[in-house]
């Protein structure tokens, strides 16, 4: 795009003389002046194009005809080079002077937030919407993303909130029918523009000092655009005699580190090399198999890895840097940071935390970043009360959240802390899903906990028939449909369900039974409205125990591990009215299948989780006289102990109660060797059992402990 080179010196003279041109108000608008100011300040800005879609396409095409540095996200071919990529990685990693988002094609918050990250300093993000006055009764195409089958919305609380915020943000508005409002930012003399790499240089120097120690674990956190990945590459360039391994879920995530290393060394980088100078890439699963002692391990986007994997890495390697984004586009690292920081603080005496605050690609106090953070509550911080006092339970509607910005930001920040994969899409779901219900714990003006519930089921006969014939999978209604596919009974679709989507308690007040009380309150409020309750979640022993203590029963464990958490998805169920028989059938079905699946699909499942999954309802073991006699024979003939493993398997699968009164090593041996059928060599290595003789002694002790229970 053409730039008036004289303009920058003119702006400087204005500033030196204490002058600053005022906001422009005219239907005729001059974006060139805005671009010049943004370039001078090294800032970016959000510009609304308010009017019809075709008018906006015409206006923006005039702009994009003058530059090749633009990206347009739209389903409407009238826009120049319009595209609508499905995945965010197709957007990220690029830079443009002009980025255009067509709201008429559907407002997907994750997509819009990601697009904002591609705007370079001096550029704009153009957002196409109807006139602002129409947002209170307009729904975009994207609204259907947050609606279940048989639902419809005529207004969007999410967009009504935007309508209010647009009047408060540092944005420009160009209207088809009203006067344009260009927000021309105040000018900063060049001498006031800080050197944006200063903070990064200090962090790198600190890392070099820390990593000279024999054992050092460091947590490096930053928001997007702060130079976290580039800092890792520059770190390796400043320690040329030291070998580094950079680890991430995907190689794509660490390209920036390799690129900055290559630039610092003055060498070529094609974008495909997985080894460059003293840096090499290794995925997490392979890293844990390697026997290296002197390399420094760099974990990029650590929040995207399962916390158990991070703990294994921290245990195995002496010097690690765990880098992660606090506020991202597909997820959020605040909850991960809190949990993993607690582990490091407890288990690593040399643990340190560093933070990159200053942006690298643009100047601080960037108007676009500020606007996006406000629109999507990305800057919402959860502030808990100092101590637990008198609190109350209540039900919040989307209207409550819409009219109380402080309350909305608290609720969203609690969701962020509860789950790494909470994204800005969840903010829209919070406001625009009509069948969502939100129950909370409040202490004065503070939220202590939230329980987000989706009302599902009660499908009509046509929908049930279509599901039965596999002709259709209606949008939403996740719990009823999954249960139906397990049991093939229409009642699971025709009855109404309450699916707990998320339950979160303020970190400082966890382990005080608040979650249990909030869940109980939620059930009381909905008991006359629904027939059964349930939830689907990444299954850990601790989470499953919580649900079991509240009389929920597991009826399904998925076969695929979540990419972010490494956990299998579980479904738990609690019948409220007429589905007790169906629930019993689902429980029996799961129990029968799980003991077999332990030997096939779940051989590596955590032993604590296996124990929790096998937890019986109640009672003491019921072992037949024949089995008792066979156990006694094994005790008297330890040389034949391995021949009795089938007997131990049979007794345990019929009486999982025996698991709960075993020593730690017998408990792990029973699960890993007998129930999961792992090879003896693997189990011996895990349990530090040195020889076959010692293994037989451990097995004899296991038999003795089982026999003692009967």
Q: Which residues are annotated as a binding site?
A: 200, 361
Rounded to whole angstroms, the Cα distance separating 338 from 449 reads 17
SS3 string, 63-93, reads: HHCCCCCEEEECCCCCCCCEECCCCHHHCCC
Rounded to whole angstroms, the Cα distance separating 82 from 108 reads 16
DSSP helix/strand/coil, 119 = strand
Residue 587 backbone phi and psi in degrees, to 5:
-65, -45
- The contacts of residue 278 (CB under 8 Å, 6+ apart) are 236, 239, 240, 241, 242, 243, 244
Residue 615 backbone phi and psi in degrees, to 5:
-55, 125
Strand order from edge to edge, sheet including 446-457 = 392-396, 436-443, 446-457, 496-505, 532-538, 568-575, 553-561
Annotation: binding site for ATP: 200, 361
Dihedral of the alpha carbons of 651, 653, 659, 662, in degrees to the nearest 10: 30
- Select from 470, 501, 500 the least CA-distant residue to 485: 470
Q: The tokens 């296996």 sit on which residue?
A: 610
Q: The tokens 């969502």 sit on which residue?
A: 436
DSSP helix/strand/coil, 275 = strand
Q: The tokens 């004065």 sit on which residue?
A: 444
Token pair belonging to 50? 């308010």
Q: The tokens 């002790």 sit on which residue?
A: 701
CB 49 within 8 A of CB 60: yes
Residue 619: CB atoms within 10 Å = 8
- The contacts of residue 583 (CB under 8 Å, 6+ apart) are 532, 553, 555, 573, 574, 575
Residue 338: CB atoms within 10 Å = 11
Helix axes 645-654, 625-636, angle to 10 degrees: 140
- Select from 662, 653, 657 the least CA-distant residue to 703: 662
Q: CA separation (Å) from 62 to 56, 121, 629?
A: 10, 21, 90
């Amino acid at each position: 795009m053409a730039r008036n080179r004289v303009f920058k010196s003119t702006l400087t003279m204005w500033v030196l003389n204490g002058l600053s041109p005022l906001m422009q108000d005219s239907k005729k608008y001059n974006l060139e002046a805005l671009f010049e100011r943004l370039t001078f300040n090294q800032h970016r800005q959000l510009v609304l194009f308010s009017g019809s879609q075709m008018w906006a396409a015409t206006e923006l095409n005039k702009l994009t005809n003058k530059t090749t540095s633009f990206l347009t996200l739209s389903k409407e071919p009238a826009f120049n080079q319009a595209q609508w990529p499905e995945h965010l990685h197709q957007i990220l990693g690029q830079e443009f002077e002009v980025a255009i988002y067509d709201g008429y094609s559907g407002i997907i918050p994750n997509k819009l937030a990601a697009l904002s990250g591609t705007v370079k300093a001096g550029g704009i993000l153009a957002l196409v919407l109807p006139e602002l006055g129409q947002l209170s009764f307009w729904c975009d195409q994207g609204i259907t993303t947050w609606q279940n089958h048989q639902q419809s919305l005529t207004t969007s609380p999410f967009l009504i909130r935007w309508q209010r915020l647009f009047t408060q943000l540092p944005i420009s508005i160009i209207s088809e029918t009203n006067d344009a409002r260009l927000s021309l930012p105040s000018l900063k003399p060049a001498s006031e523009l800080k050197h944006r790499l200063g903070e990064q240089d200090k962090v790198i120097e600190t890392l070099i000092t820390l990593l000279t120690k024999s054992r050092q674990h460091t947590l490096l956190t930053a928001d997007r655009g702060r130079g976290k990945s580039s800092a890792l590459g520059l770190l390796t360039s400043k320690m040329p005699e030291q070998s580094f391994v950079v680890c991430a879920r995907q190689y794509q995530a660490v390209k920036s580190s390799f690129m900055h290393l290559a630039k610092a060394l003055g060498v070529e980088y094609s974008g495909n090399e997985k080894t460059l100078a003293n840096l090499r890439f290794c995925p997490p699963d392979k890293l844990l198999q390697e026997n290296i002692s002197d390399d420094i391990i760099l974990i990029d986007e650590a929040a995207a890895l399962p916390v158990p994997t991070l703990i294994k890495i921290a245990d195995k390697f002496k010097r690690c840097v765990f880098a992660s984004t606090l506020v991202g586009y597909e997820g959020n690292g605040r909850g991960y940071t809190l949990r993993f920081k607690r582990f490091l603080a407890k288990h690593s005496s040399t643990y340190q935390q560093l933070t990159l605050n200053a942006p690298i690609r643009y100047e601080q106090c960037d108007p676009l970043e500020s606007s996006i953070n406000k629109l999507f509550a990305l800057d919402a911080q959860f502030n808990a009360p100092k101590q637990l006092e008198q609190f109350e339970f209540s039900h919040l509607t989307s209207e409550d959240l819409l009219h109380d910005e402080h309350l909305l930001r608290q609720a969203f920040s609690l969701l962020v802390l509860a789950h790494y994969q909470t994204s800005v899409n969840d903010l829209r779901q919070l406001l625009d899903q009509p069948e969502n219900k939100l129950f909370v714990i409040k202490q004065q003006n503070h939220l202590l906990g939230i329980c987000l519930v989706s009302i599902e089921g009660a499908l009509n006969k046509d929908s049930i028939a279509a599901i039965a014939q596999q002709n259709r999978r209606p949008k939403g209604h996740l719990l009823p449909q999954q249960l139906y596919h397990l049991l093939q009974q229409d009642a699971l679709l025709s009855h109404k369900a309450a699916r707990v989507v998320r339950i979160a308690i303020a970190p400082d007040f966890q382990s005080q039974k608040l979650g249990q009380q909030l869940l109980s309150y939620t059930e009381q409020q909905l008991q006359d409205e629904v027939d059964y309750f349930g939830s689907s979640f990444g299954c850990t022993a601790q989470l499953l125990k919580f649900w079991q203590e509240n009389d929920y029963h597991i009826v399904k464990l998925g076969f695929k591990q979540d990419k972010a958490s490494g956990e299998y998805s579980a479904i738990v169920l609690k019948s409220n009215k007429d589905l007790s028989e169906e629930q019993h059938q689902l429980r029996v079905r799961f129990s029968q299948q799980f003991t077999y699946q332990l030997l096939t699909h779940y051989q590596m499942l955590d032993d604590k989780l296996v124990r929790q999954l096998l937890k019986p309802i109640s009672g003491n073991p019921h072992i037949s006289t024949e089995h008792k006699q066979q156990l006694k024979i094994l005790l008297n003939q330890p040389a034949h102990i391995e021949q009795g493993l089938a007997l131990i398997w049979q007794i345990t699968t019929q009486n999982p109660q025996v698991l709960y009164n075993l020593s730690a090593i017998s408990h792990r041996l029973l699960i890993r060797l007998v129930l999961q059928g792992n090879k003896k060599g693997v189990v011996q290595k895990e349990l530090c059992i040195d020889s076959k003789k010692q293994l037989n002694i451990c097995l004899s002790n296991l038999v003795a402990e089982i026999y003692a229970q009967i």
